[in-house]
Amino acid sequence: MQVNNDTRFLEPFLPPSAVLMAWLCARLQRFAASGALLAAALAQFVLGYGYALGWSQKGSHQPWLLAAERDPTARAQLQAVVDATCDPGRPHDVNLVGVQHPRLNSMAANFYAVVAQSGRPVCRYAPLEDGTLKPPAVLLKLHKFVHRYYITVMPEKMPSPPDFLNLAAATAYAEVMRSEDWEHVQTIDDTFVVFRSRRF
């Protein structure tokens, strides 16, 4: 039997819990059952949204629960990356994002690329890692995947220790830095690094 500490895996428990709570409310002490359900829902609401909106300390160790970013610096950095790598004259170019970072990932880059082009999808950003490949396969993808730009973050800004989405990010960065197949184009605010592929 596998032990999962991840709270997402409690979701299948919700339907039978709802049926049980509905039965308790209908048959037994309505006030006690509905009060307990309301208290649990209110506690979850206060803890989850309180942290997400920056009103309270993080109530969970889950890595995907992040407070809303109120500092516009990260948005400006990502917009600078998109401006440097998304060329309207080369539609449908694919760029490779070498790290899945809260401030830099392929989904956020795709969003800002569409916004920059007034809703038209001109260029695309693909992730180097997605959690399904082992590091040797990730490095093979780095060399075989057709891309115009490779975008990553400085090694000291990478998740430490590497999480399951960034197992090969530091190794890929080092490989791109010493390879003749890429040229360094730009470093943005000592955080984001842009390389242009010389092969594609």
Model confidence over 90-137: pLDDT tens digits? 888 899 999 988 788 999 999 999 998 888 778 899 999 987 888 999
Can you give the pLDDT at residue 39? 80
Nearest Cα neighbor of 58 from 47, 73, 43, 42 is 47
Q: Whole-prediction pTM value?
A: 0.73
What is the C-alpha to C-alpha distance for residues 199 and 194, in angstroms, rounded to an integer? 15
Q: What is the pLDDT of residues 48-96, one digit of tens each?
A: 777 777 777 766 666 666 677 778 888 899 999 999 999 888 888 899 9
What is the C-alpha to C-alpha distance for residues 194 and 159, in angstroms, rounded to an integer? 18
What is the C-alpha to C-alpha distance for residues 101 and 154, in angstroms, rounded to an integer? 11
Higher pLDDT, 2 or 58: 58
Coil/strand/helix, residue 157: helix
Of the listed ranges 1-5, 70-74, 127-131, 180-184, the one predicted with least confidence: 1-5
Euclidean distance between the first and the last CA atom of the chain, given in angstroms as a whole number:
48
Higher pLDDT, 42 or 10: 42
- pLDDT at residue 140 above 60? yes
Can you give the pLDDT at residue 4? 46
What is the C-alpha to C-alpha distance for residues 21 and 33, in angstroms, rounded to an integer? 7
